[in-house]
């Protein structure tokens, strides 16, 4: 029946309608209540944490921890996939462990490369 399909998706349609309605009302009220833009020179000054900066604006950014950031990203992604693999470990066939082993190989090689880079001080 064509009517049954609509009733199955009724909660989704109600949620979508509520989101559009609430978003439209919020945008209208913010436009109505917000102060109008006025040009002042103070608005376009660079600030650092609310304070007017003093001294040189540009400086050298140290990259000595870049390799450790790379390792964090690798471990973060690896943890997500390992958790999912571990949860479904007993319900999947043994042949399905080969792709996860390949994935772990790629991830550990990336981590090894990041460790290799962390030992090279001259490139940072």
Domain boundary assignment for the chain: 2-44, 66-123
pLDDT at 55 over 80: no
d(Cα 72, Cα 79) in Å, to the nearest integer? 10
* DSSP one-letter code for 62: P
Note the pLDDT tens digit of each residue in 36-49: 777 777 777 777 67
Note the pLDDT tens digit of each residue in 90-111: 787 777 778 888 888 888 887 7
Across the range 83-90, mean pLDDT stands at 78
Q: Find the length of the chain.
A: 124
């Amino acid at each position: 029946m064509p009517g049954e399909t609509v009733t199955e998706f009724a909660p989704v349609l109600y949620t979508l309608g509520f989101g559009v309605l609430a978003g439209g009302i919020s945008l209208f009220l913010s436009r109505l209540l917000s102060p109008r833009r006025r040009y002042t020179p103070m608005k376009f000054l660079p600030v650092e944490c609310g304070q007017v900066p003093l001294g040189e604006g540009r400086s050298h950014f140290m990259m000595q921890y870049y390799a450790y950031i790379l390792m964090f990203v690798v471990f973060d992604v690896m943890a997500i996939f390992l958790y999912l693999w571990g949860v479904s470990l007993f319900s999947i066939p043994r042949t399905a462990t080969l792709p996860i082993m390949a994935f772990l190989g790629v991830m550990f090689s990336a981590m090894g490369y990041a460790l290799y880079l962390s030992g090279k001080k001259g490139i940072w």
